[in-house]
Amino acid sequence: MDRSRPARLTSPEHSPVDRTHPARRHTVRIVQRRTPSRAAMLSLVLAMSAAAVAFAAWRWWQPAPIDLVYQRTINDVELNWKCEAGHYFTASGQVADRPCAMCDQPAFPITFYECTQHGTTEVAVRFEAGPDGVPRRSQFRLKGSWFPATDPVPCPHCNVPMVRKPTDPLDAISRGKKKKSG
């Protein structure tokens, strides 16, 4: 055991260059770490304040969230479409009729109206661009005939005006998948 110690001591003597270099590297590394840390802190503070300014500018520039939801047009929303042959698919809304991807027949967005007694009825919708350029519902189709969207939507069974069923887009997509598989 005692003999091994001098052996260890001799080994650094044989290679003094190797030992000093890592030590120098270490000190250099420590110095490098200390100096940029202050700069890093400064840049971090600068970045945070810049982000805060950017966020404030964004908040100032953005309209109120309620306005955003209200101003969303059909072009931004995935709608349920159904063609004349009965194919269901989802695509973004548009004013013009959309040809079916499967059979090329005209397809229309569909929505659902609900009668308290007779349940849900599928209603086809046509859109038209208003004077402000925003698309809005212009016509509904029930039992094969189109009528103005301003008219009440009568239940095909009892003629009582129905209420539009609020549909979750995800709910509608799962419904479309069920129809495709079944």
Q: Smallest distance from the beta carbon of 169 to Zn ion, in angstroms? A: 21
Q: Which of 79, 83, 125, 172 binds Zn ion (CB under 5 A)?
A: 83
Contacting residues for 103 by C-beta, under 8 A, at least 6 apart: 83, 85, 87
Q: Which of 110, 123, 125, 155 binds Zn ion (CB under 5 A)?
A: 155
Q: Smallest distance from the beta carbon of 121 to Zn ion, in angstroms? A: 8
Q: Nearest Cα to 127, choosing from 110, 115, 144?
A: 110
Q: Which of 74, 110, 115, 172 binds Zn ion (CB under 5 A)?
A: 115
Report d(CA 60, CA 57) in Å as an integer: 5
Give whichever of 67 and 84 is closer to Zn ion, judged by the CB atom.
Answer: 84
158 binds Zn ion (CB under 5 A): yes
Report d(CA 33, CA 121) in Å as an integer: 70
How would you write 6-73 as a 3-class SS string? HHHHHHHHHCHHHHHHHHHHHHHHHHHHHHHHHHHHHHHHHHHHHHHHHHHHHHHHCCCHHHHHHHCC
Tokens 């059909």 found at: 74
Strand partners, 81: 89, 109
100 binds Zn ion (CB under 5 A): yes
Give whichever of 157 and 180 is closer to Zn ion, judged by the CB atom.
Answer: 157
Stretch that binds Zn ion, among 55-63, 74-82, 96-104, 138-146 (CB under 5 A): 96-104
Q: Smallest distance from the beta carbon of 103 to Zn ion, in angstroms? A: 3
Q: Smallest distance from the beta carbon of 102 to Zn ion, in angstroms? A: 4
CB 151: neighbour CB atoms within 10 A? 10
Give whichever of 117 and 145 is closer to Zn ion, judged by the CB atom.
Answer: 117
Residues, the chain, total? 182
Give whichever of 73 and 126 is closer to Zn ion, judged by the CB atom.
Answer: 126
Q: Which of 117, 145, 150, 181 binds Zn ion (CB under 5 A)?
A: 117
Instruction: By CB under 5 A, name the binding residues for Zn ion.
Output: 83, 85, 87, 100, 102-103, 115, 117-118, 155, 157-158
